């Protein structure tokens, strides 16, 4: 199995049980080893009292992209620490794209950066996630 095939199989296994990302309206655009891209169109129920996308929605999109990137090797991995910086507001109807990229993976610890942009390419948020591998896998791999 190639790294890309493993990443796709890991994403399929995770997506099947990911009620939160599905419920929020996210979609998977791309996944590869150490990388994932997710999208979300901002709907009325994503907006806060200021009429802009709730920061928790943006965080959740970035966090989900981070999760698919750090689980792309079929090693169960969880968040250890995450931070986000909101740069520009997102508005009703915007299409947000979160691109997660692995910065470092040493032993059980990983560092991932996620950039969230809107349909115009405007950066709306920067997220950094620290991951920790735990016991288990996402699917059973058979060695050839």
**Range 128-139 average pLDDT:** 97
- Number of H helices and number of E strands within the chain? 3, 6
pLDDT at 143: 67
Cα–Cα dist 123/9, whole Å: 30
Does 3 have pLDDT greater than 90?
yes
- H helix intervals, 71-109: none
Over the stretch 47-58, which tens digit does the pLDDT of each residue have? 999 999 999 999
Assign a CATH topology to domain 3-133: Thiol Ester Dehydrase; Chain A (3.10.129)
| Domain residue spans of the chain | 3-133
The answer to whether residue 129 scores a pLDDT higher than 70 is yes
The average pLDDT across 75-97 equals 97
* DSSP per position, 52-81: BB-HHHHHHHHHHHHHHHHTTTSS-EEEEE
Rounded to whole angstroms, the Cα distance separating 122 from 96 reads 10
Average pLDDT over residues 2-28: 96
Q: DSSP assignment, residue 109?
A: E
Q: Which helix (H) or strand (E) holds 8?
A: helix 3-17
Band of pLDDT at residue 144, cut at 50, 70 and 90: low
């Amino acid at each position: 199995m190639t790294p890309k095939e493993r990443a796709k199989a890991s994403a399929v296994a995770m997506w099947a049980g990911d009620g939160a990302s599905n419920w929020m309206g996210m979609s998977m655009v791309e996944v590869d080893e150490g990388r994932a891209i997710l999208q979300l169109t901002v709907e009325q129920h994503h907006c806060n009292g200021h009429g802009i996308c709730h920061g928790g929605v943006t965080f959740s999109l970035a966090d989900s992209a981070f999760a698919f990137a750090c689980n792309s090797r079929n090693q169960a991995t969880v968040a250890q620490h995450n931070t986000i910086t909101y740069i520009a507001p997102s508005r009703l109807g915007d299409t947000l794209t979160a691109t997660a990229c692995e910065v470092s993976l040493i032993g059980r610890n990983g560092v991932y950066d996620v950039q969230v942009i809107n349909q115009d390419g405007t950066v709306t948020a920067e997220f950094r996630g620290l991951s920790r591998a735990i016991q288990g896998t996402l699917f059973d791999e058979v060695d050839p």
